[in-house]
A and B are shown apart, each in its own frame.
Chain A
Amino acid sequence: MSELLLVDRRWIERGVERSSTKRFVLWLAPWFAMLALGIYAAGLCLYYGLNQTNMDNRFAFGMWIFLDLAIIAMGAGAFFTGFLVYILKQADLKPILNSAVVLGFICYSGAVAVLMVDVGQPLRAWFTFWYPNTHSMLTEVTFCITCYLCVLILEYIPVLLRNRQLRKVPSFLVFEHQLHKLVPVLAGVGAFLSFFHQGSLGGLYGVLRGRPFVYRQGFAIWPSTFFLFILSAIAVGPSFLILVTATAEKLTGQKLVQPGVLRKLGLISGILLAAYVAAKAVDTLVWLNITSPSLGFGPRDFYSYWPLSSTFLFAATVPLGLFPALLLIMPKTAGKRGWLILGASLACAGVLLNRFVFTVQTLALPTLPFDDFLQYFPSWQEVATFGGVIAYGVLVYSLSYRYLPLFNPPKGADTNVSVD
């Protein structure tokens, strides 16, 4: 036991305060258990097939697609912060950048892992690269997510190699130094890829002519949802960063970043959220009055089924859209930590609700005139796999926080090393 304590201490950066090894292990234990259950459930789905889920021919997408869309939107903080720091030169956001990269890595790797379980023939995943259908939004999503995950891995490695023990290895230092030179380029590439696939996730639904609830007209080959998903993702990404940082500060009892950083993230999030709500309102009006009537569907076809009624549309637009945008923008509220966190939480909840509506409500609604409104409840295997991804995220972030310079680089070290 004493050896374990010693090893643990050796890997923690000098001069930083971390909880005791025992406390840390106790914190990790339930998350490891949750991850183990998730891996077991995912294993059942891979071995026995997707009959282990409660998806069916009508609810062909379920909880996992919601998870993918949700965590990828939350992970937008990674590419967007990189974009702000390196492209728009917002240097004051640098202290949060490493944390954003780790969060992005968690979200994207988690999403890819779940996608591998979610397809019926995971071993054929390479077919998409070998026989790509360039007209499919899913091809665009697959290419961009795969490439961006590689970018995130390359961005994560320099952070990883800043560990106290790892940086003692000379070749690691050289490698980190060389990678470090690439980071601004990676941030640019990552921003491009991520902008595109956040959009193509929206396009995934917007192109579905056979689903008038989500079908949208747009610009050139892109439906309006392409642009709305980009806007909502970059609006909520900074909010998610605020939430994670505030949670980490609460759990560790340490002040990790200056309040000004969170305040600035909140302002960016609020302005983008307000723009998103305005764009979404216009889009909804065009859709309800022009697009869907031209396909033979009206508002009654979409909003007369409890509980997935127009309440969701209102909730995502006003209490979880406009209201948090105002909270994050107005100096009076945004200057107070409680209001800032509330605003960020509501913003995240709004985008989660939006993704839920796109993934679940779309499939619940009937299209054929003699069809039924459908219900779907995920199986325990789906829930456990979902939980496994959450646990994986908490574990990676916890381990990264303990052993890597996420917020507070070592004293005396060049604080810009891992982010410049």
Chain B
Amino acid sequence: MSARYGMVIDLDRCTGCGSCMVACAAENNVPPAAPRATTRTGLTPMLVHKVSNGAEGAAKREVFIPVTCMHCANETPCVSVCPQQAVEVDKATGIVMQMPQRCLGCRYCMVACPYHARYFNWWDPAWPAGMEKSLNPGVAVRMRGVVEKCNLCHARLHSAMEKAAAAGKKEIDLADYVPACVEACPTGAILFGNLADKDDAIYSAAHSPDAFRLLARLGTEPKVYYKSGQAWVKGLAERDSEHAKESKHV
């Protein structure tokens, strides 16, 4: 049975600590930022935005919104535009895969992505002396001039598949496949699972009244859901909120 891996991020639990960003970078061998890198040229497959409702004083409210690849299921914007099939949707998992080895670096997929969840390697990857020993041997380092993005920690999926195969099973045990950001979140704000499995906790979370998706009206069927009990936060999803006027990255 094919899975539809996705996330439900509870924004009311997110403290904006940035652990998910750090864990993502460590797991996926994201190099330290180059000296001239800015917030717009860095590699942040998981990026936490700080959003305010625009009010002042006691009425002021803020929320942290982690944004990563939404793994769009319908008319996936980045897939159809890539001129050399370096992007594809894995039918078995629903994960939108990026093949840096085939990427031309034209960046058309980055232009196509409404969530700005794709990143270009503007510099050669480099680590301070000694730090290369901390690299994850299961993940290939990407070279300068190619695009990368969240692949839901594909190396961890591979490990889970290997473990299942060794045990003679065809399906993985979901307890063996937990993306780094999910694992690192200290408040348990990120729920990961199979959206196609009605028995999975993520299914009911994604269908709860508090759940919503960013830019859902674009019709791309993102597989990352958000959850909040605050009306103004939920109002952001369909761009019908006048409150979210200020934002900055954590």
* Chain A interface residues toward B at CB < 8 A: 49-51, 55-61, 118-121, 124-125, 127-128, 130-133, 135-139, 142, 204, 207-212, 294-297, 301, 362-363, 367-372
Residue B20, interface by CB 8 Å:
no
Query: Counting chain A CB atoms within 10 Å of each CB, which of B80, B104, B247 scores highest?
Result: B104
A142 partner residues in chain B, CB cutoff 8 A? 83
* Chain B interface residues toward A at CB < 8 A: 34, 36, 38, 40-42, 49, 51, 65, 67, 75, 77, 80-86, 102-108, 110-116, 118-124, 143-147, 214-220, 236-239, 241, 244, 247
The one of B51, B114, B118, B216 that contacts A211, using a Cβ cutoff of 8 Å: B114
**Chain A at the B interface: SS class:** loop
Given A128-B104, A136-B82, A296-B239; A61-B114 close (CB under 8 Å): no
In the complex, A367 Cα to B70 Cα: how many Å? 14
Query: Counting chain A CB atoms within 10 Å of each CB, which of B34, B36, B80, B216 scores highest?
Result: B80
In the complex, A297 Cα to B240 Cα: how many Å? 10
Report whether A120 and B236 are in contact in the complex, using a CB–CB cutoff of 8 Å: no
In the complex, A124 Cα to B118 Cα: how many Å? 20
B38 partner residues in chain A, CB cutoff 8 A? 56
Report whether B105 and A370 are in contact in the complex, using a CB–CB cutoff of 8 Å: no
Given A120-B145, A369-B241, A370-B51; A127-B107 close (CB under 8 Å): no
Query: Counting chain A CB atoms within 10 Å of each CB, which of B36, B85, B102, B146 scores highest?
Result: B85
Report whether A121 and B104 are in contact in the complex, using a CB–CB cutoff of 8 Å: yes
A55 partner residues in chain B, CB cutoff 8 A? 107
User: Which chain A residue shows the least CB distance to B109?
Assistant: A60
B82 partner residues in chain A, CB cutoff 8 A? 133, 136, 138
The one of B75, B145, B220, B241 that contacts A121, using a Cβ cutoff of 8 Å: B145
In the complex, A418 Cα to B237 Cα: how many Å? 62
Report whether A136 and B80 are in contact in the complex, using a CB–CB cutoff of 8 Å: yes
In the complex, A414 Cα to B120 Cα: how many Å? 55
In the complex, A127 Cα to B146 Cα: how many Å? 13
Closest chain-A Cβ to B150's Cβ sits at a distance in Å of: 14
Report whether A368 and B146 are in contact in the complex, using a CB–CB cutoff of 8 Å: no
Report whether B122 and A50 are in contact in the complex, using a CB–CB cutoff of 8 Å: yes
The one of B65, B118, B146 that contacts A120, using a Cβ cutoff of 8 Å: B146
In the complex, A173 Cα to B150 Cα: how many Å? 59
Closest chain-B Cβ to A73's Cβ sits at a distance in Å of: 19
Report whether B80 and A210 are in contact in the complex, using a CB–CB cutoff of 8 Å: no
